[in-house]
Structure 1
């Protein structure tokens, strides 16, 4: 139980600090130029903590433990379209293939619509980035 609590707290802490400036992914082509960047970023209903909770509900650690993967990192990016849907979900970096696959599966299971980014009062697409860091010991 302590292992899972540690995993959740670590994931929330890393995710919350990384999400602050994560409206653009490093390798993704910019959807909106820097001059016309959205002044209101996309938001998950209930905030970032609710988004992390939704991911954690879907993330299975037991296959990773069986494969003796006790710690790993991965970073995902995705687009929140003008309707609030998560699209084009990709894992941009990862340490283990199983972690990549599980993180991608957990993200794709999130069906809650986002509140889209806004620019000049108009809803626009935006790129979001979500890291995953865990350590099960």
Structure 2
């Protein structure tokens, strides 16, 4: 089964960097780009076989707002491991998520994806 990766990032330069990193780490992955919250949820519910959901909520507020938590529940329900490119205040609803400390850098993302690749990509692609 092909593994899908949701990329929900509004900044096009950052999004391109993330896509390039995902392709490097997991070349067979099918990348699904979401432009907004509704589209992200729609994509998650439409497909099976998720590896990661990489999001950049651009949050400078805490705690994580309800819409992001809702997206998080959708990600977890579809077995997509949430990888967040900023580090908002964590709470119990996000304890299994991977948070990358700002500022974002590609090696940090690559390392996080490589550390989770064996368990996330254990199914045939």
TM-score (norm 1): 0.27
The structure with more strand, counted as a fraction of residues: 1
TM-score (norm 2): 0.28
Q: Flag the structure with larger Rg.
A: 1
Between 1 and 2, higher relative CO (CA 8 Å, sep ≥ 6) is seen in 1
